Amino acid sequence: MSEDFYDVLGVSRDASEEEIKKAYRKQAAEHHPDVSDDENAEERFKKIQKAKEVLTDEQKRQQYDQMGHERFTQADKRGATGGGAGPGGAGGPFGGAGGARGAGGFEDIFNQFFGGGGGGGNRPRQGRDLKTGLTIDLEEAFHGATKEVTLTRPTECDTCGGAGHPPDADVETCPQCNGRGQVQQVQQTPLGRVQQTTTCPRCEGEGELYSEDCADCGGDGVVREEATLSVEIPAGIRSGQSLRMEREGAPGENGGPKGDLLIEVDVDVGDRFERDGDDLRVNEAVSFPQAVFGDTVGVQTVDGTVEMDVPAGTQSGETFRLQGKGMPRLRRRGRGDLYVQVGVVVPESLNDEQREALEAFAEAGGEDIDVGGGFFEKLKSSF
């Protein structure tokens, strides 16, 4: 009467979706009421269809594996199984349970099959978000980049499909919570007796006890695995900003979707530039004559060299703004600015010609510098 869906299709419990569909086509062709002589063909055919419907729906199949045939089909008749709810189940039969409280029959069924309301029980839950870090250089932040991140993360155990036990393990209803997954505790407080509902410590909310744990995950349904992911870094990203990779986090529970992976980016700006939001700052050396007479100098930016006019009479330490020559704005058009602080370089040594010219310059300006017996003479004699 209650034949296991896997047996109905004649597939093993770890059959792939492809194998299940193939087996379904074969069985359906054989048992279709139009072609079969069997008087029970129609009933048989319905069973085959039901088996295929459940086993090819990832969420339903997981519930089926966890609940077993008997409990699943009962719950299914009352419309309390997943499917159609989509990943996460929000808005579906599970998410709607809160609203159905007190609606008599439904709540009882809900408690019976899903271990009570609230946060406990076997409701599908999205997995945790995971976090990791990634360092890129300024050029990569400027142009955007595709980078690889390697992390060790919890992943659904392949061996048991996340169930935590071998598919053929014997199962019994948890005697402590009678399968509800939660237990009531009565506490005496100054205000009177307070009833508290907590997750059942014996079955950890599962409502069921299995004779055997999965050898690979020890019953968690989750193993840690190294994964390498390709990350698209958008141009203009700043240190401390995070990229979210959806559904790359920890596995969900009870058929819930995976969490997300958050990648915090650190931009190593290097020695040449300082970054201030989308603006960049850089120091540029000019010679004394360039500062005096003015000149056009080449300033190296992140993506090449731009020309900058240094006006005549520029003072050391003066800052010029090159509009739109900074970093790209993240996911917007335009760029920040590049601030160039000019430093006039004082020569550390002079040849004779330069020295004479400079002495003449000082003299012409009426400056009285004690060059003869002073600094310059000592400098000369030291060579």
**Binding site for Zn(2+): residue ranges?**
157, 160, 174, 177, 200, 203, 214, 217
Q: Show the binding pattern over residues 307-326: x = contacts Zn ion (CB under 5 A), - = does not.
A: --------------------
CB of 211 to Zn ion, least distance (A): 15
- Binding-site size, Zn ion (CB under 5 A): 12
202 binds Zn ion (CB under 5 A): yes
DSSP symbol at 96: G
Q: Which is nearer to Zn ion, 200 or 265 (CB)?
A: 200
- Interface positions, 135-174, toward Zn ion (CB under 5 A): 157, 159-160, 174
Q: What does the block give as tokens for 29? A: 């062709």
Which of 109/200 has CB closer to Zn ion?
200
DSSP state of 12: -
Exactly one of 49, 176, 241, 283 binds Zn ion (CB under 5 A); which one? 176
> DSSP assignment of 116-163, as one string?
-STT-TT--BPPPPEEEEEEEEHHHHHH-EEEEEEEEEEEE-TTTTTS
Q: What are phi and psi of 311, to 5 degrees?
A: -70, 155
Nearer to Zn ion, 160 or 233 (CB): 160
Question: Each residue of 318-351: b (16+ CB within 10 Å) or e?
Answer: bebebeebbbbeeeeeebbbbbbebebeeeeeee
Residue of 214, 233, 340, 342 that binds Zn ion (CB under 5 A): 214
Distance CA 352, CA 379 (A): 12
Q: Does 216 bind Zn ion (CB under 5 A)?
A: yes
177 lies in the binding site for Zn ion (CB under 5 A): yes
Report DSSP state, residue 99: G
In one-letter notation, the amino acid at residue 79 is G
* Residue 67 binding Zn ion, by CB under 5 A: no
Minimum CB separation from Zn ion for residue 175, in Å? 8
Closest CA to 20 of 33, 32, 5, 30: 5
Stretch that binds Zn ion, among 43-51, 76-84, 197-205, 286-294 (CB under 5 A): 197-205
Q: Assess 340 for contact with Zn ion (CB under 5 A).
A: no
| Binding interface with Zn ion (CB under 5 A) | 157, 159-160, 174, 176-177, 200, 202-203, 214, 216-217
